[in-house]
Amino acid sequence: MISTRDVSMRFGGLTAVSDLNIEIQKNEIVGLIGPNGAGKTTAFNAITGVYRPTEGRVVFKGRDITGQKPHAITKLGIARTFQNIRLWTDMDVLENVLVACHLRMDVGVFASTLHLPGYRVKERRSREFAMSLLESVGLADQAREAATSLPYGKQRRLEIVRALATEPSLLLLDEPAAGMNPQESLELMDFIGSIRDRYDLTILLIEHHMQVVMGVCTRMYVLDYGVTIAHGTPDEIRRDPKVIEAYLGVD
Amino acid sequence: MKIKRNTLLTLAGLALLVGAIAAADATLGRFSVRILNLSAIYIVLALSLNLLNGFTGLFSLGHAGFMAVGAYVSALLTMSPAQKDMNFFLEPIMPFLRDIQLPFPLALLAAGACAGLVAVVIGVPALRLRDDYLAIATLGFAEIIRVLITNAQSLTNGAQGLKAITKYSTTWVVWSVAALSVVFMLALVRSSYGRTMKAVRDDEVAAEAMGVNVFKVKSTSFVISSFMAGVGGALLGHMITTIDPKMFTLTLTFNILLIVVLGGNGSITGSVIGAIVVTVLMEALRFLDMPMNFLFIKTNGLPGLRMVIFSILLMIVVLYRQRGLMGNKEFDWDGFIGIFRRKGASSAGGRS
């Protein structure tokens, strides 16, 4: 599905990510963990086109997408959420999802301004799709509320829904459980599993919350100072001395 | 039922507005009608700047430049060869331009198109910049356009400007264009494309990640805005009937920016109200610039004193209503009636 081949990301003298080799098969849920500053989000940014990798290539569905623009990569089917929630503050919940629907609507500025018949049909379909997505996460009742007035956990869900509205085949989640209480985290685990099945997704997620990662991922990669120090099943990772060292600081 | 009521109210409001404009056009003196029409032109200009500033989040200060392009293109295209010969007495006009004469509607469209074309040329490099840098770059481009116009003697008649432009900007023409601009903006902003513009304004990184082609959206907004600025500039030229490069300085851009900020960044209603209020005040306060006589103290006239009033007004608005008169809200009948209901309810409560 997606693979990164020796992807390195350097900022001046700092190597944020070096020789990252991730390989994910279709419908897998894979975790990317590591201590703060390990380069996890940088890896995401290199995959989604926010940064152009200094070295290496990113291959998605057999196609080299290295250095493409973020919106082009989203169009190919990679969607993401952000560590610090990035909803559009001046829009309501539904509009937030509708903007993401625009990508697949394929209408230009004239067709949409003139509200041509073709546009109207697409707009109506987008609204129905957006509402069905919101319904599936229990946000339909709040569709007309300001996105930022939602409680934190729901804002996170809305971000995931917004990403789903671009109809991706690969979903990158950047700390989806950040700031959630244990109950919400548990719900989130179920939710991630269910969207994978319902929308036929492949998921790569960054998470600090070990219970969530271990519970939902089939495989995981561990980064430390930009270097991949381990990868394997949750059980293997839990026993890996290098991982324990990185997290607990054994000397 | 409710929707029907609002539609009826809108129709009634429109009829009232058309009636009021017709009455004003017929009864008011030439000076007042001119102010009325100037407001309409400022509505077009404010909307075009608001599209950039308020809806796409691009801080541009290049409006005067695009207006100049529009004004010159339309003026040159509508003048008869004889008029052109009269204007270009220092250096003859380019032969091919001399013989072109188009009807006014076509010239108006050409004015917008040329301004849009200039925007494409300028926008591609400038839109890579953000925030204040973009403002400075567009400001610079506007000055470049002005200097080019001043020096292209055989094309624009240079610093002499163009005189005796036909006065096509009648009350009905300018108000029709203003109405068209309002309808266009409403349709654009409420469409799917308009939503992507707001997304770019609110968070560019998120917009890009959700598949919005940020550069394309910005360019589109920039070109549409410049098209409208060009049309507005052309209308202005055909109203004043003379244009010269000195008209299109930064001050003009600032007047429009003042309207947008006062009315509310991101509010179409705000721009319309702001345009009318600022234009009317700009003329109504003209007495401040004149010599004044307060019984014992006589002043010799302080040109620019009315601008002081505007500065104070702007400061007050920025202090107490940071987002302008309307914020980013739009007028709607439910809200409008709501104001009266609430007032009625509170006064009724006061009585009992």
Chain A closest CA to B202's CA: distance in Å? 5
- Token digits of residue B41: 């032109």
Residue A163, pLDDT above cutoff 90: yes
CB contact under 8 A, B188 and A100: no
Chain B closest CA to A165's CA: distance in Å? 9
pLDDT at B351: 39
- CB-nearest partner of B193 from A91, A113, A166: A113
Mean pLDDT (whole number) for A31-42: 89
Q: Looking at beta carbons, which residues of chain A come within 8 Å of B193?
A: 102, 107-109, 112-113
Chain B closest CA to A250's CA: distance in Å? 39
pLDDT at B352: 36
Mean pLDDT (whole number) for A48-71: 93
- Tell me the three state secondary structure of residue A217: coil
- CB-nearest partner of B202 from A89, A105, A114: A89
Q: Where are the domains of chain B?
A: 28-340
pLDDT at B7: 85
pLDDT at B341: 74
Cβ B243 vs Cβ B69: under 8 Å: no
Q: To probe the interface with A, which of B186, B210, B223, B225 has the most A CB atoms within 10 Å?
A: B210
Q: Between the CA of residue A124 and those of A129, A163, B348, what are the distances in Å? A: 9, 19, 44
Segment B94-145, tens digit of pLDDT: 888 888 889 999 999 999 999 999 999 988 788 888 888 999 999 999 999 9
Cβ A10 vs Cβ A226: under 8 Å: no
Cβ B200 vs Cβ B212: under 8 Å: yes
CB contact under 8 A, A113 and B191: yes
pLDDT at A167: 94
> CB contact, 8 Å: A51 with chain B?
no
CB contact under 8 A, A103 and B202: no
> CB contact, 8 Å: A173 with chain B?
no
- CB-nearest partner of A86 from B193, B206, B220: B206
Segment A227-244, tens digit of pLDDT: 999 889 988 988 888 888
What is the pTM for the complete model shown?
Answer: 0.90
- Token digits of residue B262: 């006062």
Cβ B74 vs Cβ B108: under 8 Å: yes
pLDDT at B300: 72
pLDDT at A183: 85
Q: What percent of chain A has pLDDT over 90?
A: 63
For the structural domain made of B28-340, what CATH number should be given? Answer: 1.10.3470
CB contact under 8 A, A90 and B187: no
- CB-nearest partner of B211 from A75, A82, A113: A75
Mean pLDDT over the full length of chain A: 90
Chain B closest CA to A104's CA: distance in Å? 9
Distance (Å, whole) CA B217 – CA B293: 55
Q: To probe the interface with B, which of A92, A101, A113, A127 has the most B CB atoms within 10 Å?
A: A113
pLDDT at B27: 86
> CB contact, 8 Å: A84 with chain B?
no
CB contact under 8 A, A74 and B211: yes
Mean pLDDT (whole number) for A6-13: 91
Residue A96, pLDDT above cutoff 90: yes
In one-letter notation, the amino acid at residue B8 is: L
Mean pLDDT (whole number) for A119-134: 94
CB contact under 8 A, B209 and A80: yes
CB contact under 8 A, A112 and B328: no
Which residues partner with A30 through β-bridges? A204, A219
- Token digits of residue B183: 């309808």
Low-confidence ranges of chain B (pLDDT < 70): 1-3, 292-295, 342-352
Chain A closest CA to B231's CA: distance in Å? 18
Mean pLDDT (whole number) for A12-25: 91
Mean pLDDT (whole number) for A193-215: 89
Consecutive H or E run containing A225 = none
Cβ B250 vs Cβ B238: under 8 Å: no
> CB contact, 8 Å: B208 with chain A?
yes
pLDDT at B330: 81
Consecutive H or E run containing B193 = helix B192-202
Cβ B258 vs Cβ B309: under 8 Å: no
